[in-house]
Amino acid sequence: MKIEKICVMGLGYIGLPTGSLLANRGYKVHGVDVVQSTVDTINQGKIHIVEPDLDTFVQSAVNSGNMKADTKPAPADVFIIAVPTPFKDNHVPNVDYIVSATKSIAPYVKEGNIVILESTSPVGTTDLMEETLKKEGVDTSVIHFAHCPERVLPGKIMHELVHNDRIVGGTTKEATKETAAFYKTFVKGEVLETDARTAEMAKLTENSFRDVNIAFANELSMLSEKFGINVWELIELANRHPRVNILQPGCGVGGHCIAVDPWFIVDAAKGDANIIKTAREVNDYKSEWVVEKIKNQALLFEKEEGKKAKVACMGLAFKPDIDDLRESPALYITRRLIADGVDVMAVEPNIKVFSDFEIVDYQKAIDEADIIVFLVSHKEFIDIEIDQDKEVLTFCKLDVKRKVPVA
């Protein structure tokens, strides 16, 4: 089947880069998002998220006429669903966005189309997508359904969309073959073929593996504090072993993938995913541990100085040099401190305005705060010099420079 038109459902951190990449490869791309302001921004050739090189891709895609955005789907040869998959209370997966997006394309799907789920999902969601269209009156026997999970790193998405290996799993062998052939038109990495359920589990497995390893590093950091050990030095020394590669601890784990996906396995396993569940609990607890450390330092300052401490929370994103706040432990910590009555100056160089509280310039925060807390190692923080009399707490790998007092 000749593929010319692509309909991308969801123009967020995956859908927009994917759509703009495909448009620059000559495909006609119809992007869909439920937020009108997002649609308007993209149709102006601009972007609503921070991601290196994405602005160039979108501007080129729109100016060429190969990409346009709308709030409603349109007929296409390939439909790509890239909508959020959060969880409900008690970490139960929420596939409502996927079901809604699938229903919305029902009037436009025709024989020979490929319907691809890129959203990270619980095992069986691709089958659910097929069942949803069938209930909407679509003859699904003539449609190809497949799952191809995204596996890109924020900050390097445009490169990794092309160069990373991809996993393609169809609900039938023919669906796998047709979908893999489509990805091979723009992916330079290897396109690996399997079935839909294995593809779904592969993505969950990748992120659970990383979560378990980060949990080990985070637990080490809390134990090191207890034992009076510098955790950064400890890890550096341990990693000199030829078969040891411990990751770096942080203030928790964030992002839509690692902080969420392992719960999909835990929920489905019904008590049999013990290591994965424990790792999630350790990483969630690390944020609570950080909150208590900051609050204790603020109380100590107030006791010694006789005034309430101003605390600068340096960084809100879930990782360095992006604006992505999804499941961010740094944002959670900042909100918790504010809710608990701490006088907080919130700093995030990649965001100008935030609805919940004021974003403060990082240099102003450094100058005015009594306690400076580094939660994210943004590039802006690397060369900052801080007065010797300032209290500094560092929960990310960052060498803090101190100003030499003037004689």
Catalytically active residues are: 203, 257
What distance in Å separates the CA atoms of residue 108 and residue 90, rounded to the nearest whole number?
36
Identify the bridge partners of residue 47 per DSSP, sorted by sequence position: none
Residue 392 sits at φ, ψ, to 5 deg, of -125, 130
What distance in Å separates the CA atoms of residue 137 and residue 134, rounded to the nearest whole number?
5
Residues whose CB falls within 8 Å of the CB of residue 149, separated by 6 or more in sequence, listed in order? 118, 120, 167, 199, 200, 202, 203
Amino acid at 254: G
**Token duo for residue 279:** 């790792």
Residues whose CB falls within 8 Å of the CB of residue 378, separated by 6 or more in sequence, listed in order? 314, 315, 317, 320, 321, 349, 350
Contact of 246 with 297, CB cutoff 8 Å: no
Looking at 64-135, list the stretches that DSSP marks H as alpha helix, in order from N- to C-terminal side.
Answer: 96-105, 125-135
| Buried-state track 106-141, b at ≥16 Cβ within 10 A, e below 16 | eebbeeebbbbbbbbbbbebbebbbebbeeeebebe
What distance in Å separates the CA atoms of residue 349 and residue 383, rounded to the nearest whole number?
14
**Residue-by-residue DSSP string for 169-233:** EESSHHHHHHHHHHHTTT--S-EEEEEHHHHHHHHHHHHHHHHHHHHHHHHHHHHHHHHT--HHH
User: What are the E-state strand segments in 57-99?
Assistant: 67-70, 78-81
What distance in Å separates the CA atoms of residue 137 and residue 223, rounded to the nearest whole number?
57
What distance in Å separates the CA atoms of residue 197 and residue 264, rounded to the nearest whole number?
13
Contact of 82 with 100, CB cutoff 8 Å: no
What distance in Å separates the CA atoms of residue 333 and residue 310, rounded to the nearest whole number?
15
Q: Is 319 exposed, middle or buried (0-12, 13-18, 19+ CB in 10 A)?
A: buried
What distance in Å separates the CA atoms of residue 19 and residue 14, rounded to the nearest whole number?
8
